[in-house]
Structure 1
Amino acid sequence: MTLADDALNGDFTPIDGDQSDLMTIGFSLVGSPNTTAGSDNLPAKPNTVVSPVGAAAAAGVIAEGAANGTTKIDPKQLQPAWTMWHPWAGPPAATPQDIPVIAAVARLLAAPEVPIKPAYRDTIAGWDVPIETGAITQENLDDWVNKSTAGLVNKSGIDATRGDINFVLQNAITFAARWRERFNANKTRQSQFTKTTGETIMVDMMWLSRTTAPYTVSDGWRGVRLDYTDGELAAFVLIPDADPGQVTPTMLKQAVSQLCRPNETTGLVRVGLPKLRLTTKKDLIPFLQYLGLAGNIDLPTMTNANPVDITQAVQQAIMLVDEEGTVASAVTEVGGLAGAAPGTIPEQPIDIIADRPFYLVIGDVETGTPLFLSRISDPAA
Structure 2
Amino acid sequence: MTSRTSRNRSHRRLHRDGRPPAARSSRGPAALLLTAALAASLLTGCGSTGAADPVVVRVSAPETPAPVDPARVAATATATSAFGLDLLHTLTAAPDQAGRNLVLSPSGLATALAMLLPGARGATADELARALHTDLAPEQYALATGALNRRVPPTDGLTLRQSDALWAQQGFPLGQDYLRTLAAAFDTGVHTTDFAKDPDGSRRTVNAAVEKATEGRIKDLFGKGAITSDTRLALTDALYLKAKWASPFKAAHTSDRPFHRLDGSAPNVGTMGQTGTFRYAEGSGGILGEPWQAVELPYEDGGLAMDLVVPAQGGFAAFAKGLDQAQLDTILGALAERPVDLTLPRFRFDTADDLVPALRALGVAAAFDAADLSGLTGPGAHESLRVGTVVQKATVQVDEEGTVAAAGSGVGVVATAAQAPRQAVELHIDRPFLFLVRDTTTGRPLFLGQVTDPQAG
In the superposition, the TM-score normalised over structure 2's length comes to: 0.69
Q: What amino acid does structure 1 have at the position aligned with 2:280?
A: Y
Q: Is the 8 A contact 2:395 2:406 kept in 1?
A: yes
Shift of the 312–146 alpha-carbon distance from structure 1 to 2, 3 Å rule, reads same
Check 1:226–1:29 CA distance in 2 against 1; reply closer, same or farther (3 A cut).
Answer: same
Could you tell me which residue of structure 2 aligns to residue 275 of structure 1?
A: 346
Provide the C-alpha distance between the structure 2 equivalents of 1:351 and 1:79, rounded to a whole number of angstroms. 43
The answer on 1:377 being equivalent to 2:441 is: no
What is aligned with 1:354? 429
Q: Residue in 2 aligned with 1:227?
A: 298
Verify: 1:298 aligned to 2:368, yes or no: no
Superposed, 1:202-241 pairs within 5 Å as: 202-208=268-274, 210-219=275-284, 220-241=291-312
- Deviation of 1:20 after TM superposition, in Å, equals 7.9
1: CA distance, partners of 2:174 / 2:252: 56
Cα gap change, 1:329/1:19 in structure 2, threshold over 3 Å: closer, same or farther? closer
Counterpart of 1:52 in structure 2 is 106
SS at match of 1:247: helix
- Which string of whole-angstrom CA distances, capped at 9 and with x for unpartnered residues, describes residues 320-363 of structure 1? 11101001111001112236479xxxxxx111222111101000
1:322 to 390, 399, 403: 399
Residue 204 of structure 2: aligned partner:
139
Shift of 1:375: 0.8
| Residue number among 210, 216, 231 corresponding to 1:151 in the alignment | 216
Within 1, Cα distance between the matches of 2:100 and 2:273?
23
Matched residue SS, 1:360:
strand
Q: Is the 1:88–1:103 contact (alpha carbons within 8 Å) kept by the matching residues of 2?
A: no
Change (3 A) 1:360 1:256: farther
The equivalences for 1:77-226 within 5 A come to: 77=141, 80-88=144-152, 98-128=156-186, 129-136=188-195, 137-159=202-224, 162-208=228-274, 210-219=275-284, 220-226=291-297
- Compared with structure 1, are the counterparts of its residues 58 and 161 closer, same or farther at alpha carbon in structure 2 (3 Å cutoff)? closer
1:82 deviates by 4.7
Instruction: State the secondary structure of the residue aligned to 1:141.
Output: helix
Please, which moves more after superposition, 109-118 or 283-292?
283-292
Task: Supply the distance in 1 between the matched residues of 2:276 and 2:404 (Cα, whole angstroms).
Answer: 22
Question: 1:67 — aligned with what?
Answer: 121
Q: Does 1:265 align with 2:311?
A: no
Consecutive unaligned residues in structure 1, runs of 5 or more: 1-17, 39-43, 91-96, 343-348
Give 3-state SS (helix, strand or coil) of 1:157's partner: coil
Q: Hey, what's the Cα distance between the residues in 1 that align with 2:308 and 2:91?
A: 20
Residues of 1 paired with 2:326 and 2:255: CA distance? 31
**Paired position in structure 1 for 2:316:** 243
Q: Distance in 1 between matches of 2:78 and 2:244?
A: 30
Cα 1:34–1:201 shift into 2, 3 Å: farther
Say whether the 8 Å CA contact 2:259–2:430 is kept in structure 1. Answer: yes
CA distance in 2, matches of 1:116, 1:161: 19
Q: Is the CA contact 1:270–1:350 (under 8 Å) kept in the aligned structure 2?
A: yes
Give the gaps of 5 or more residues in structure 2.
1-75, 196-201, 285-290
Other structure's SS at 2:443 match: coil
Q: Distance in 1 between matches of 2:247 and 2:262?
A: 30
- How far, CA to CA, are the matches of 1:81 and 1:253 in structure 2? 21
Assess if the C-alpha contact under 8 Å between 1:164 and 1:311 holds in 2: no
| 2:112 partner letter | A
Aligned to 1:336, the other structure's residue is in SS state: strand
Stretch deviating more after TM superposition (19-28 or 196-205): 19-28
User: How far apart are residue 270 of structure 1 and its match?
Assistant: 1.1
Secondary structure at 2:357 match in 1? helix
User: How far apart are the structure 2 equivalents of 1:19 and 1:324?
Assistant: 28
State the one-letter code of the partner of 1:83: A
What is the deviation of 1:35?
Answer: 8.5
Aligned 8 A contact 1:276 1:379 in 2: yes
Task: Give the CA deviation at 1:232.
Answer: 1.2
- Does the Cα contact within 8 Å between 2:77 and 2:442 map onto a contact in 1? no
C-alpha contact 1:202 1:380 (8 A) present in aligned 2: no
Compare the two structures and name the one with the higher strand fraction. Answer: 1
Q: Which moved more, 1:321-330 or 1:81-90?
A: 81-90
Instruction: Determine if contact 1:32/1:245 at 8 Å carries over to the other structure.
Output: no
Question: Closer, same or farther in 2 for the Cα pair 1:188/1:98, shift >3 Å?
Answer: farther
Deviations 1:115-163 (A, max 9, x none): 1100000112233133222224133112201211111113232436643
CA distance in 2, matches of 1:211, 1:166: 53
Deviation string for 1:159-197 (max 9, x for gaps)?
Answer: 366433121111111111000000011111111111123
Paired with 2:257 and 2:94, the residues of 1 have a C-alpha distance of 21
The alignment-based identity, stated in percent, is 28
CA contact (8 A) 2:152 2:303 kept: no
How far residue 112 of structure 1 moved from its aligned partner, in angstroms, is 1.4
Q: Counterpart of 1:337?
A: 414
Query: In the alignment, is the contact (CA less than 8 A) between 1:89 and 1:103 conserved in 2?
Result: no
Q: Partner amino acid for 1:203?
A: V
Q: Cα distance 1:285–1:32, how it changes in 2: closer, same or farther (>3 A)?
A: closer
Query: Structure 1: which amino acid aligns with 2:316?
Result: D
Task: Name the CA distance, whole Å, in 1 between partners of 2:405 and 2:172.
Answer: 34
CA RMSD, 1 decimal: 2.7
